[in-house]
Structure 1
């Protein structure tokens, strides 16, 4: 039935107007595209025309915190500065699929253009586009993380509803809107979630057409969607604004026989070209598009709501619109570590490394607040806390919002064989 609909979209003669071919390709793309149709930040030709470096800078609203002055007090007020930051979206990928048809193929092989040429081309574009969007999510430095391990003895990790509730709490802390929340899952995670007996059904009427077949169900306010582009054990809780997508239909060259570009819903745009290569006596069909995707970061806020700035006074931006899920037992990652110093050093420094990123040197007797501040300056870390007695005589507990691998290195002076360890 689907093949018949596609055939009816163009006339039998493949030498039709290029615009019609582009519309057919776009229709196929819209039916199947998942990840790009899920995210709502989309930018097209009007945004990128004349943009320096093919990058669009979207200024975001300033964030401020209200403060309270003591009643009848004469304390000085705190004057905050506007924190200006931007969302940067780059158009930097050129996706294409090119196919040549020989005279023998066109004459003897009963080529159906839509079925045998355009559909495979559009599917190839679709797969590439999906991977660009998912790749932006996969490469992001996540602030938040949860664990979903069906084999765990702890219900907080093994029960998908409790995992979803934990993710909902993190989303609330990051002030996500209540709508547009998704749990994106790979095949193995989807299987584990789908077996949960209390999974709720979802009314898919308001979802993009391509997402409907991938909907697994709903838990704790999350619509669960299986994506083919994700690895089997890959999974993320996301808000629909977590990734910004760029997509432009390239201009049609003057030298082609037929061609057209179409931009339409869901942020999709493609150009279809058809020409003849006289050197090799072959017709050529090309479907291509410009694309890009960027994880959307936001200004980090301190506990009192004020904006965090780095040593250069620039606003610190962190990726807070998605939550990474560790599926299964994971590796050596943990969310809580105990750090201790032995040997009674009287001087020197130490560093903390979180998932390969290392802090600046920290004094051997640094306070919990100083250590937490240094850790939170690392990319992908936000909201880490440090508690415990004074260093170096007491152990300290480092608690992260995401499971990570943490190591420590010391360079101490004085004392007796001083060392630092983490467990």
Structure 2
């Protein structure tokens, strides 16, 4: 009789595919690949923000000298500070008599648990951020609220492509009842979970529902507003079976270890992760009602501002 062994690489590849298909909120974050963490100092990866500069001008034939300007790149640090995991123990009897499909019965629920944990981390970052601009959600006129948020993003020079309106269940109901949503055809590269959570488009936003957001909260964001990093922990030298993998900005580890005393196998799915808010250095010009990025990041009056997203909700202090 020929026995085909269970290959750790196949299991962990299945796991990463399950993770990619289950994510919703992490899919609208700026994900940083595993390779960026090589020799990362203090468990931190640095994301570079391109330098901002403006053109100079001179009157022709004036004899005025042409002066040079310096480029000053900025950075956003993302620290890996969270270990998300799910462990389950399987007895010899269960492995022999009960478990007929390891991927469906064991791995899938474990990956789903870790995915929900990753989603919770992202939601906590979204709801805990300090936004430069806020909009009160008008249930009588939801389109007005969306247009207000769009206006604030436009005034901050946020790119029009890659915008998402992430909504809680209560605001989702309000949008569906208002019939202002257009059909959205997500591209083939989007995860199944994200496609299912996308309920339409409105004024340049893909509208995505997340049931973990509070009922009366929505966030209009660009896909660079929040950063997410994941890393697969190393496989211990004493682990008899295990593998790691990373793809599309996500990383995952799977281990199976035998426990002598309990005569059972432990299956562990886990990852390290960290999130951050991506701020921009500059100031808000009250006269023009525009965000002005800083050319000199150390100049007086310049500060880090979170302008790549707008908070919408009931009871928030609305921006003037």
TM range (shorter): 0.7 to 0.9
Say whether the 8 Å CA contact 1:259–1:271 is kept in structure 2. Answer: yes
Out of 277, 292, 303, which is 2:259 matched to? 277
Corresponding residue number in structure 2 for 1:239? 222
1:38 touches 1:208 (CA, 8 Å); kept in 2?
no
Unaligned runs of at least 5 residues, structure 2: none
Instruction: Tell me the equivalent position of 1:129.
Output: 118
> What whole-Å deviation, never above 9, does each CA across 1:207-259 have from its counterpart, x for those lacking one?
61221111111111111110133222221001011111111111211211211
Higher-Rg member (1/2) = 1
Equivalent pair of 1:215/1:226 in contact (CA under 8 Å):
yes
Taking the TM superposition and a 5 Å limit, the aligned residue runs for 1:156-235 are 158-206=140-188, 208-209=190-191, 210-235=193-218
Of 255, 259, 268, the residue aligned with 2:250 is 268
- Does 1:320 pair with 2:307? yes
Q: How many residue pairs end up in the alignment?
A: 312
RMSD (CA atoms): 2.9
Match of 1:51 among 19, 29, 40: 40
Are 2:2 and 1:21 aligned?
Answer: no
Cα–Cα, structure 1 residues 58 and 311, in superposed 2: closer, same or farther, change >3 Å?
closer
Mapped partners of 2:108, 2:304: distance in 1: 41
3-state DSSP of counterpart to 2:184:
coil
* 1:204 to 1:77, Cα distance in 2 relative to 1, 3 A: same
Name the structure, 1 or 2, with higher relative contact order (CA <8 Å, separation 6+): 2
Q: TM-score, normalised by structure 1?
A: 0.67
Native 8 Å contact 2:138 2:145 kept in 1: no
TM-score, normalised with respect to structure 2: 0.87
Q: Distance in 1 between matches of 2:101 and 2:293?
A: 62
Shift in Å at residue 85 of structure 1? 2.0
Shift of 1:295: 1.0
Q: Secondary structure at 1:28's aligned position in 2?
A: helix
Match of 1:63 among 45, 48, 52: 52
Using a 3 Å threshold, how does the CA distance of structure 1 residues 204 and 59 change in structure 2: closer, same or farther? Answer: closer
- Looking at structure 1, the residues matched to 64 and 283 of structure 2 have their Cα atoms a distance apart, in angstroms, of 24
